[in-house]
Amino acid sequence: MSNWEDPDVIIPLVATGAVIGVAATISCTVCCLRRGCCGPRGLKEGDIQALETFNDIYRFQQIDVGEGFFEKVESSAFCKLRSYTRSARPVHKWSSLMPGFSSGFLVDVAKHVDEALLAFQHRMWDAKGEWISYLPTFLVAQEWREWAMTELQRIEAPHLEHREMLDRRLRWIANAREVARTEIMELRQAEGWDETEELSLLSVLRQQVGRELRLVYDRWETYQLQVSFAANTDMINGFLIQFVRSGVQFLRKVIRQDRIHENEFIKVVETGAIISKPCTFCCGLKNWQAHALDHKIDAWLAEINIFDPQFPGNFRTTFFTDKRLKELEEGTAKVRPLKPLNPFAPWDESRLDYEERNLAKEVMDAYSPADFGLQEHEFKVLVQRSVTLLSALKYCTVSIMVLESLKNFAVLGGAIFLAAKMSTEHVMEILKFVGLAVDSAESDLVAVADLAQSGWSNLRRTDRESHWSNTTPVDNVRAALHIKSDMVRTARDAQETVKVLKAETMSAEKVDEDQIEDKLQHELEFHLHLWELISKHFEKQKKKKSRSTEEAEAEDQALTMII
């Protein structure tokens, strides 16, 4: 029996081997734990420094990220064999949905920022696994995403404080690129800051996020014009609505020989009691003809309901009925007001279309010019220009609806609508249409009021008493003239605001297109000039090189011949 088979020898050897194995295992485990080869991971020195650097950048730019956002915690692993450092507030739900917002004018910019940073986070996760939730660069990317989706996209108007917020963010990026600073240089040791082209938060912030924010910041004046445009458009609409409502009352009074009851036409519209035309042989024909203009007004008011407090917001779809849209599409409807005629210029009957001419004839058949203290040709002009005034008021209501749509576009566009979404030529054309409609209506208004006042004066000389002209404090003419004075002031206010809008439109075009175009043209000229200089130098060097090669070949041939 050998010593290796002796139990007294084997047992101690086995025991010794087991002890050695256990000791080796413990030693390896302790070594691995201490070195970090296994067990929980901690931040490397570069990442720990990055936490402090990022915290300083946010603090220096006065950007509040919440207390303890970049704090670190010290932990121990397995009986304090190794201590490690981690971020106190890791980002575990980084891939969750972000809240959306619909009325902010920078929604698209915010979404672009969020998508660019989310793509970076996905690349980090794919390259490094779940551990990325603790990395400082990942925390920064998440903070920028949350800012974009909770603050940037909720900006509804370009106020100064919002521009200052953008300025702080742009300065944050500028500071993070300042490689002359020691702390910024050390950021390159942090994971995900600038490892590769794919894993570079610096590149995302510089090339995508910073570029988007810089465009918004540089165009801030144009965004302010956008909001100002919407406010001024709303102001014009207010003037036009008042102008049209007053115009209806003016027409009701200026050619009515019977007594006017206040709000009579509104009651007719609300009850829908539009009078139908009587039989030709009926004794009421004269009365119908006298009120022919009123019937047209009643039918028009019933259609557009301009006296409703919600006009024009709730009447865009009902205003543009299928019939009207079909007439516009077929070109059978008048779509442009006539060029204003001077109130005191000779009257041109060719300005009336077929329906206007018939309407004026009905009114004139019901009255005698003497009832208005006018000659026959004067009364004819009075009635015909009253009819064209009604048409001009209709064009003003069309202007109201178009401007309402333009205002909504300016508010909800979410971009530089004048240059990027809608051409300035189109906006100027709309404003020209509005100005033409107001001028045309004001011209007819002044002409009708002047003729009515002239006839009123003639009747007062003869002491003739009627509801239209009398010696009491109020008659139809004086009520109409009072309304006319208010309408003229309203028309002036509307036209002045139109001029402001035109100036803003041209200014926005200059800010958004001309300046950028000038910069591009200057850059292009510089590029071409630079390349011209470089190419000449390159060609010169190329020719020198070619001559040197030829000389070398000639020397070789001469040497060969000598040999």
Percent of residues, the chain, with pLDDT higher than 90: 24
Q: Tokens 């609300």: give the residue.
A: 270
Dihedral sign from CA coordinates of 141, 147, 150, 153: negative
The answer to whether 491 and 441 have CB atoms below 8 angstroms apart is yes
Distance CA 493, CA 34 (A): 81
Say if residue 536's pLDDT is above 70. Answer: no
Q: State the pLDDT at residue 284.
A: 61
Q: State the pLDDT at residue 72.
A: 77
The tens digit of pLDDT for each residue in 58-84 reads 999 999 887 778 887 766 655 555 676
Distance CA 129, CA 102 (A): 34
Q: State the pLDDT at residue 128.
A: 87
Distance CA 16, CA 333 (A): 110
The answer to whether 495 and 437 have CB atoms below 8 angstroms apart is no
Which neighbouring-strand residues pair with 442?
A: none
Peptide bond connecting 312 to the previous residue in cis, omega within 30 degrees of 0: yes
What residues have CB less than 8 Å from 497, skipping those under 6 apart? 232, 235, 236, 239
**Per-residue confidence band for 383, with pLDDT thresholds at 50, 70 and 90:** very high
The tens digit of pLDDT for each residue in 394-446 reads 989 888 888 887 777 665 543 344 445 556 777 788 888 899 999 999 999 99
Amino acid identity of residue 44, one-letter, is K
Say if residue 97's pLDDT is above 70. Answer: yes
Distance CA 10, CA 280 (A): 138
Say if residue 209's pLDDT is above 90. Answer: yes
Q: State the pLDDT at residue 560.
A: 44
Which neighbouring-strand residues pair with 73?
A: 86
Three-class secondary structure assignment of 434-449? HHHHHHHHHHHHHHHH
* Comparison of pLDDT for 510 and 24, the residue scoring more: 24
The tens digit of pLDDT for each residue in 438-477 reads 999 999 999 999 999 999 998 888 877 888 888 888 888 8
The answer to whether 312 and 241 have CB atoms below 8 angstroms apart is yes
* Comparison of pLDDT for 562 and 256, the residue scoring more: 256
What is the distance in angstroms between the CA of the first residue and the CA of the last residue of the chain? 94
Calculate mean pLDDT across residues 37-49. Answer: 74
The tens digit of pLDDT for each residue in 542-556 reads 555 555 555 555 555
Q: Against a cut of 0.85, is the pTM above it? A: no
Q: What average pLDDT does the chain have? A: 77
**Per-residue confidence band for 231, with pLDDT thresholds at 50, 70 and 90:** confident
In the numeric block, which tokens belong to residue 21?
A: 């194995």
Calculate mean pLDDT across residues 515-533. Answer: 54
Q: State the pLDDT at residue 275.
A: 47
Percent of residues, the chain, with pLDDT higher than 70: 69
Task: Give which of 144, 154, 118, 121 is closest to 58, Cα–Cα.
Answer: 144
Q: State the pLDDT at residue 561.
A: 46
* Comparison of pLDDT for 493 and 288, the residue scoring more: 493
Calculate mean pLDDT across residues 343-356. Answer: 87
Dihedral sign from CA coordinates of 119, 122, 126, 132: positive
> Residue 83: enclosing H or E segment and its boundaries?
strand 82-87
In the numeric block, which tokens belong to residue 65?
A: 């990220």
Angle between helices 160-176 and 210-218 (to 10 degrees): 140
Q: State the pLDDT at residue 105.
A: 74
Cα 237 to chain centroid, rounded: 19
Task: Give which of 410, 406, 407 is closest to 224, Cα–Cα.
Answer: 410
Least confident of 55-59, 226-230, 364-368: 226-230
Collapsed DSSP state (helix, strand, coil) of residue 23: helix
* Comparison of pLDDT for 507 and 126, the residue scoring more: 126
**Per-residue confidence band for 512, with pLDDT thresholds at 50, 70 and 90:** very low
Q: State the pLDDT at residue 17.
A: 59
Q: State the pLDDT at residue 511.
A: 44
**Per-residue confidence band for 242, with pLDDT thresholds at 50, 70 and 90:** very high
Please report, to the nearest 10 degrees, the dihedral formed by the alpha carbons of residues 475, 249, 341, 384 taken in order.
-70
**Per-residue confidence band for 15, with pLDDT thresholds at 50, 70 and 90:** low
Collapsed DSSP state (helix, strand, coil) of residue 66: coil
Amino acid identity of residue 524, one-letter, is L
Say if residue 510's pLDDT is above 50. Answer: no
- Residue extents of the structural domains in the chain: 3-35, 45-218, 234-514
Distance CA 198, CA 194 (A): 9
Three-class secondary structure assignment of 222-255? HHHHHHHHHHHHHHHHHHHHHHHHHHHHHHHHHC
Say if residue 271's pLDDT is above 50. Answer: no
In the numeric block, which tokens belong to residue 210?
A: 């910073």
**Per-residue confidence band for 290, with pLDDT thresholds at 50, 70 and 90:** confident
